[in-house]
Amino acid sequence: MIRDFLAHLDTLLLWGFAACAFVSASLMLVLRQPMRVALALVSCMVFLGGVYGLLGVHFIAAFQVLIYVGAVMVFMVYAIMLLDPRDESATAKYSKLLWPGIIGFALLAEALAVGYWNDLPHAPRGALGEPFDIARFSTAFLTEYWLHFELTSVLLLVAVVAALAVIQENRRHERG
C-alpha cells in the first residue's frame, strides 16, 4: 500500500499544489488588506512553481520563484509599505462593477473550461512526460529565437527610459 502511495505521490502533490494555487488566487478577490492580497499572490506563485517543478521544467520553476516572488512581488510589497495602508479603498466595498464582474467571471470560466474539456488537442503519443532540459532550451533560445531575445532586451531598455521619463515628469510638475 505504501508502495502504491509513493508511486502516485507526484500526482497527489500536483493536485494538491493546483488546489492550493486556486484557493490562494480566490483569496486575492476577498481579502481586504493589500498586504494580505500580496501574500496570497506570493503563495499562489510558489504553488505554481511547485507545479512547474513536478512537470519537470525545473528551470522555469526556479525562475518563477526568483523573478516573480523574488523581484516582482518584493517590489510590490515595497510599494504597499511605502503607501498608506490605512487608505480608505483598503477597507471600502467592491467597485460598482461587482455583479457584472462576477457574471463575466462565470461566463468566461465556463467558456474556457468547456472549450478545454472538449477541444483539447491530443498530445502526440510518447511526448508526454519527456521534459525538455535547460540545454535544449538554451540552444533553441539563442539560435532560433535570438531575434526575440534581442527585442526583449530593447524592451527592457525602453522600460528604463520610460521610468526615467516618469520621474522627470514628476519633477517638472513639482517645480511648476
Partner 1 sequence: MDKVQMLQVLAASLFALGLTGVIIRRNVLVMLMCMELMLNGVNLSLVTFAHTMGSAVGAVLVFLIFVVATAEIAIAIPIVLLLVRRKRSLDIESYTDLKG
Instruction: Verify binding: residue 159, partner 1, rule CB under 8 A.
Output: yes
Instruction: Verify binding: residue 168, partner 1, rule CB under 8 A.
Output: no
CA–CA distance, 69 with 132 (Å, rounded to integer): 24
Tell which positions 50-69 bind partner 1, by CB under 8 A. 51-52, 55-57, 60, 63-64, 67-68
Instruction: Verify binding: residue 38, partner 1, rule CB under 8 A.
Output: yes
Instruction: Verify binding: residue 46, partner 1, rule CB under 8 A.
Output: no
Task: Using the structure block, give the residue that is written with the C-alpha cell 517543478.
Answer: 53
Instruction: Verify binding: residue 9, partner 1, rule CB under 8 A.
Output: no
The enclosing H or E element of 53 equals helix 34-55
Tell which positions 85-144 bind partner 1, by CB under 8 A. 87-90, 92-95, 97-98, 100-102, 104-105, 108-109, 112-113, 116-117, 120, 123-124, 127-128, 130-132, 136-137, 140-141
CB neighbour list of residue 153: distance below 8 Å, 6 or more residues apart? none
Nearer to partner 1 by Cβ, of 6 and 104: the residue is: 104
CB 30 within 8 A of CB 68: no
Number of residues that bind partner 1 (CB under 8 A): 84
Task: Using the structure block, give the residue that is written with the C-alpha cell 467597485.
Answer: 95
- What is the smallest separation between the CB atom of 69 and partner 1, expressed in angstroms? 11
CB neighbour list of residue 36: distance below 8 Å, 6 or more residues apart? 27
For the record, the C-alpha cell of 40 comes out as: 496570497
